[in-house]
Amino acid sequence: MPDGSDSNGVRYVAKNMRLDLRLIAEMIPAKTKVLDIGCGDGTLIDHLFRTRGCDARGIEIDMAEVTHAVAHGLPVMQGDADSDLAQYPDGAFDFVVLSRTLQAVERPREVLRQMLRIGRHAVVSFPNFGFWQVRWQLLWSGRMPMTSVWARPWHETPNIHPCTIRDFFVLCHEEGYVVEKWLAVDEAGQRAPWRRFVGLANLFGEQALFQLRKA
């Protein structure tokens, strides 16, 4: 594995990587086998390969992003989280990552099941709909909230299944998943100091990140 972690180029990329991707990358051990669902242009899998020697692959629904990723030498296939996970064999990956995509899939519960079938661990990030600005906007204006994360009007948004941190804990409980790690971050990208209190995290965390496994 080419150890590129010390090169300035890679540091530059990592610094400019989306916040949730940077946090996810920190959760994934070296040399593991990773599937990134909704991998976009492949920033995370590139980072995981170059800095950690992971066998990282991606699925992305947007063909322009796929073309961009493959043209940069990354193993990415065009596919859909809702329909293209079922054919993978059980336990094919160590980590299956779904970053900021859960809220946009048709059947989030089924996608999570598939993730924990084909991977030993699932890493899921999503924008928290319980964030105080979201609540405040709905309460104050009576209209669907628009924030930097929830940036599109209700009729244009692909985010058909928004949820809060509390909602996600409930789903994990219902499905019998073990929450191995979780954290909430505020808009400045700082790990929230209220991490031990779900209620506070649900109010002040703009984004949430979970690592799960089957019980």
- Would you say 77 or 160 has its CB closer to another protein? 77
- Would you say 93 or 126 has its CB closer to another protein? 93
- Would you say 122 or 172 has its CB closer to another protein? 122
Q: What does residue 86 show for φ and ψ, rounded to 5 degrees? A: -60, -30
DSSP string, 52-89: H--EEEEEES-HHHHHHHHHTT--EEE--TTTSSTTSP
Q: Smallest gap, in angstroms, from Cβ of residue 109 to another protein?
A: 21
Q: Smallest gap, in angstroms, from Cβ of residue 111 to another protein?
A: 15
Q: Smallest gap, in angstroms, from Cβ of residue 210 to another protein?
A: 25
Do 53 and 29 meet the contact criterion of CB atoms below 8 Å apart?
no
Residue type, 72: H
The number of beta carbons lying within 10 Å of the beta carbon of residue 120 is 15
Q: Smallest gap, in angstroms, from Cβ of residue 161 to another protein?
A: 24
Residue that has been written with the tokens 């985010």 in this structure: 159
- Would you say 118 or 149 has its CB closer to another protein? 118
Q: Which residues are at the interface with another protein (CB under 8 A)?
A: 2, 55, 57, 63, 66-67, 70-79, 84, 87-89, 92
